[in-house]
Amino acid sequence: MTKPVFYFDEKTLWFTAGLSALVQPVGGWVQPPASGGHADSPDPKRRLKSLMDVSGLTQAFDVKTAAPLTDAELQRIHPKSYLEAFKAMSDAGGGALHPTAPFSGGSYEIAALSAGLVSRAVLDVAEGACQRAYAISRPSGHHCLPDTPMGFCMFANVAIAVRSAQEAGIGRIAVLDWDVHHGNGTEACFYDDPTVLTISMHQEACFPPGSSGAVEAAGEGAGIGANVNVPIWPGAGHAAYLYAFERIVAPSITEFAPEMIIVVNGLDANGVDPLARMLAHSETFRALTKSVMALSEVLCEGRLVIVQEGGYAESYVPFCALAVLEELSGARTEVEDPFLDLLIEQQPSTEAVAAQLAALARHPRHVP
């Protein structure tokens, strides 16, 4: 089997949301941080790439970059008016078109490169150049609406890539999002489209605020049934995630019978992430990857693309991502997760797990 491909470009790590404390812009009563800044730091992804290099895992992949998407390619999802507004503000030094998505000067070009990495990964798999691919996406994309950025996301990277693959002849595509925050942008892009199955496993009522990600949101028009939200109680850990995948996610993807699977690999459900309240760990993400790889082998000749988006614990995201990449490549390194024993000890009690699984069992797509 040929090596999977890893799509990466250091330039994407130069995207910045500006000086902030966690997610609040500095000013007023918000004191500038002594170090670091905005929660959406490049450090988790940069440290992952460093860990890959020093552990030798990079050698298990073909490493490639890609060209930025053109305006015409971005318009597969985004209207020209949005592109013009974003570009003008980027050229003027930055700002915010939505309060949860600030950006600095030059961000338009970096965002177009991030989208280009994802589209190239998806197209290469769609066209048979490789069977499996992994792309580092920064800025991320799963919250971005066609005409509005949101939640650190500037372009709908995966949604654009889906349309590229469909133009290349892939008809039915499943997008599985296990980021801890609801994938509202991807959902909005395909809400009435029966050719794209969108599944979001997320912490209930985390982000976006309000009713985003509710079970009842199942699509509309011809797309009814092609959107599946799996809200999971805060405090859930390894057992709940694997149960949700086995009893809700896998049956939904199997029934849909896609020709390709794309995973939005948000790693912020980990037990030390500052922007969520879940207790997953590196072995959770390894197990999810193993399961989705098995599905792709059965359903779509192994065609699988994994796109890394969220994850804000710079110390821990690299170990979670490394587990995914090891599983994807079939290679194991000597790296040991130094947080794993602690997070295993902190898993929910037997009673809490039982309550979480009972709640998931009431999901309308649950298969006993």
DSSP SS3 for 141: coil
* C-alpha torsion sign, points 218, 223, 225, 228: negative
User: Annotated catalytic, 143?
Assistant: yes
- Residue 357 sits at the vertex; the CA angle it makes with 354 and 360, to the nearest 5 degrees, is 155
CA gap 169, 213 in Å, rounded: 30
**Residue in the structure block whose two tokens are 């078109």:** 97
Q: Which of 38, 78, 142, 143 is catalytic?
A: 143
Among residues 119, 199, 226, the alpha carbon closest in space to that of 166 is found at: 119
Among residues 315, 313, 314, 333, the alpha carbon closest in space to that of 323 is found at: 333
Burial 63-92 (b: 16+ CB within 10 A, else e): ebebebbeeebbbbbbeeebbeebbebbee
> 200: which strand partners?
177, 229
CA 328 to chain centre: 16
Cite the active site residues: 143
